[in-house]
């Protein structure tokens, strides 16, 4: 079993739809959860960061973490064609050495928002 599982999609939705993306994980030591957006041939761009369980909202984006279920989600409201990209979940456990937060990534979900 991979440490982080993410449905690769592709996911195609009409403009204005609510998009739900999610990841499951197996390592209970993960405490830091991130969502990255990656456009084709570009570097991953940090969208949302959440520590431990709970919700976080930023504009049209909402991140949820449920540590009891080992499940994280990203919701995109009022989706736009510019949201078309690959979305990667990433998570990290703290290490004994200060300042070390290597990320374990899901494989990414490719999203297309159709005008």
Partner 1 sequence: DSGVTQTPKHLITATGQRVTLRCSPRSGDLSVYWYQQSLDQGLQFLIQYYNGEERAKGNILERFSAQQFPDLHSELNLSSLELGDSALYFCASSVVDQPEAFFGQGTRLTVV
Q: What are 83's two structure tokens?
A: 């949201």
Binder among 41, 68, 82, 115 for partner 1 (CB under 8 A) = 41
Residue (17 or 62) nearer to partner 1, CB: 62
Q: Fill in the per-residue mask, 53 to 92: x = in contact with partner 1 (CB under 8 A), - = not in contact.
A: -----------------------------------x-x-x
DSSP 49-92: EEESSEEEEETTEEEEEETTTTEEEEEESS--GGG-EEEEEEEE
Give the interface size with partner 1 as a residue count (CB under 8 A): 26
Residue (71 or 95) nearer to partner 1, CB: 95
Contacts of 65 (CB under 8 A, 6+ apart): 33, 50, 52, 53, 54, 55, 71, 72
**Residues of the shown chain interacting with partner 1 in the complex, contacts defined by CB under 8 A:** 32, 34, 36, 41-46, 49, 88, 90, 92, 95, 97-108
């Amino acid at each position: 079993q991979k440490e982080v599982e993410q449905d690769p999609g592709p996911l195609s939705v009409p403009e204005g739809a609510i998009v739900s993306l999610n990841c499951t994980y197996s390592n209970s030591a993960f405490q830091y959860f991130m969502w990255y957006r990656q456009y084709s041939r570009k570097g991953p761009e940090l969208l949302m960061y959440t520590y431990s369980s709970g919700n976080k909202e930023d504009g049209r984006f909402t991140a949820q973490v449920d540590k009891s279920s080992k499940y994280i989600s990203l919701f995109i409201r009022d989706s736009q064609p510019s949201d078309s990209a690959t979305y990667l979940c990433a998570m990290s456990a703290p290490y004994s050495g200060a300042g070390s937060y290597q990320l374990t990534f899901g494989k990414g979900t490719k999203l297309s928002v159709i005008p």
